[in-house]
Amino acid sequence: MIWQKSADGKQSKYSLCYAPATRHGGQGPTGGSLNCDANSYVTVEGPRFCCRNPRININGEKMQAKVEVCGDVQADFDAAAQKIRYVRGPSFDGTPELQNALEDSSMGTNLPSPIGTQAMKDGSEWKLLLGQRCKGRDGTLISWPSGRAEMCPTGSQPVHGAGYASWQCDGTYKKEHRLHCCSVKGKMKCVPNLVDQASAMKCNCPGVGGSGWSEDAEGKEDLEKESEVGGVTPSIGLSPLPVLLLTSSGVPGQSRKTRRPCRRGYGRQLGQSFL
């Protein structure tokens, strides 16, 4: 995803670019950059909350997980009050219409589950543990005040109870996952990276009296001013006094035979008269 600004700097413009196309319109399998429809940009977050060294007891037998065990919802548990609260899960920062368009985009598991999103719509208030069931598409990672953690499968009883089926964890870790999405010709598309080119524009500010000014115009004026002083080449970049002294006393490293003769103190007098 490429983020740019309009010419007046007031509007954001987004476009998609797929490898191996370049960011400046080079051709690739997708034909280069694709402009996003107006007001269709949205970010999607689908973090993963994972259990370190997951293990579970089944009929008295301890079993280790052979694969990574992660949930899409995170919760805290208060053992003293016997309460639980859901603190984080999938999120969208767009309108409900854009969220519906994403859910209908046929991107499958590349997008967070609406089930996890719905779990967070109920708020993050503390609720009595009694009657609660773990939420999310892939389950809920629950952290205890003591540092203990468990990975609770969706629909099972958290902490304890007849329907308890959680994985025990030695610790937890988090995997952030963010997507940048927009609509291109009415179809939602998502990519994992955003390139900020909004700050690459040149200055365009009004000058004194309201006249236009830009970096290119300023550079042109400076060159013209330097050219008018003694016919000095603009690329030298010296102020008038050093240039006059340099032309009167010769270029450093020049042999005495080729250097033009000058009277002692002539350069100092010339500098005084100039000042």
Of residues 81 and 11, the one with the higher pLDDT is: 81
Percentage of residues in the chain with pLDDT exceeding 70? 67
Q: Are residues 146 and 79 in the same domain?
A: yes
Domain count, the chain: 2
- How far is it, in rounded angstroms, from Cα 194 to Cα 10? 19
Q: Are residues 132 and 27 in the same domain?
A: no
Q: Are residues 158 and 189 in the same domain?
A: no
Rounded mean pLDDT of the chain? 77
Q: Name residues whose C-beta falls within 8 Å of residue 271's C-beta, 6 or more positions apart in sequence.
A: 241, 244, 245
Tokens of 180: 């940048």
pLDDT digit string, tens, across residues 165-182: 999 999 999 999 999 999
The per-residue pLDDT for 205 is: 52
pLDDT at residue 219 greater than cutoff 50: no
Question: Which of 101-105, 153-157, 227-231 is predicted least confidently?
Answer: 227-231
Q: Which of 141, 164, 143 is nearest to 73 (CA)?
A: 141
Q: Are residues 40 and 53 in the same domain?
A: no
Q: Are residues 83 and 189 in the same domain?
A: no
The per-residue pLDDT for 122 is: 74
- How far is it, in rounded angstroms, from Cα 46 to Cα 108? 13
- How far is it, in rounded angstroms, from Cα 149 to Cα 138? 16
| Residue 19: inside a domain | yes
Question: Which of 89-98, 161-170, 210-219 is predicted least confidently?
Answer: 210-219
Question: Which of 17-21, 134-138, 158-162, 240-244 is predicted least confidently?
Answer: 240-244
Q: Are residues 84 and 171 in the same domain?
A: yes
Q: Are residues 65 and 162 in the same domain?
A: yes
The per-residue pLDDT for 234 is: 42
- How far is it, in rounded angstroms, from Cα 193 to Cα 19? 12
pLDDT at residue 145 greater than cutoff 50: yes
The per-residue pLDDT for 82 is: 93
Residue 126 structural domain: 47-92+110-176
Q: Are residues 35 and 134 in the same domain?
A: no
The per-residue pLDDT for 177 is: 93
The per-residue pLDDT for 33 is: 64
The per-residue pLDDT for 19 is: 72
H-state helical runs in the chain: 96-103, 114-121, 215-228, 240-249, 266-274
- How far is it, in rounded angstroms, from Cα 249 to Cα 10? 55
| Residue 261: inside a domain | no
pLDDT at residue 226 greater than cutoff 80: no
Q: Are residues 153 and 54 in the same domain?
A: yes
Of residues 143 and 17, the one with the higher pLDDT is: 143
pLDDT at residue 198 greater than cutoff 60: yes
Of residues 176 and 109, the one with the higher pLDDT is: 176
Domain finish residue from 199, 230, 254: 199
pLDDT at residue 27 greater than cutoff 80: no
Helix then strand then coil, in percent of the chain rounded to 5, is 20, 30, 45
Q: Are residues 131 and 55 in the same domain?
A: yes
Q: Give the CA-trace dihedral at 238, 242, 245, 251, to 10 degrees.
A: -50
pLDDT digit string, tens, across residues 235-269: 444 454 444 444 445 555 554 444 455 555 544 45
